[in-house]
Amino acid sequence: MSDIEQLGYTDIMPRVGELADELASHPDHRVREQVIELLDWVDVFHREGLGRLVELIRAWRGEVFLEAVAEDEIAGPFLSVYDLGEAPDERDMLEAQEAVDAALEELRPFVESHGGTIVVDSIKDGVVTVQMLGSCDGCPSSNATLTGGVEEALRRHWPNFRRLEVVDPDTEEQGNGHAGHDHGTGQEQPVQLLQIRGHELQ
């Protein structure tokens, strides 16, 4: 009998989950911690790499290509796992929206206590774009505190959250709300630190 094990593509991740659960129950706590850290790093590596790729495709007006990818029986589910691309199932986007709403609702009393309001512009490819209005707008120290709080809440509520982008309301009105984020034509991007709970790597 052959030792080669075969699985359908969509059966692989459930099997990975089963194996991860078994290893996470290992009697040695050091093994458990290392397994969990390993899985978290692999997850964030894939999410951020695929997310950057999808952003580059969008920058070259590749939505039609992404729609075709979403219908592919292998590439579609792969991107969908990370809420990336043109999701064929609206439930994925609804879950992302609910997670973002829950995160912002958690922070609403704190934001309102500073006389501010946070308005969501868009949720796409793990990136949440917002405007900070009221007293939040134009105050660097207040913005830094609120931004940190929003990012932390989003990470807790939405596993596929990648980053937060804050746009200037005045710039947004002129139609250039995302001008500061060029993921398109080969311009060098700042080095980003990838983070999981308790760990950070460049």
Residue 136 has pLDDT above 80, yes or no: no
- What CATH number has the domain spanning 90-177? 3.30.300.130
pLDDT greater at residue 187 or residue 109 = 109
* Mean per-residue pLDDT over the chain, rounded: 81
The one-letter code for the residue type at 179 is A
3-state SS string for the chain: CCCCCCCCHHHHHHHHHHHHHHHHCCCCHHHHHHHHHHHHHHHHHHHHHHHHHHHHHHHCCCHHHHHHHHHCCCHHHHHHHCCCCCCCCHHHHHHHHHHHHHHHHHHHHHHHHCCEEEEEEEEECCEEEEEEEECCCCCHHHHHHHHHHHHHHHHHHCCCCCEEEEECHHHHHCCCCCCCCCCCCCCCCCCCCEEECCEEEC
- Using the predicted structure, report yes or no on whether residue 11 has a pLDDT greater than 70: yes
Global pTM value: 0.75
Tens-place pLDDT, residues 94-110? 889 999 999 999 988 98
Residue spans in the chain of domains classed CATH 3.30.300.130: 90-177
Residues of the chain with pLDDT > 70, as a percent, come to 76
The pLDDT value given to residue 104: 94
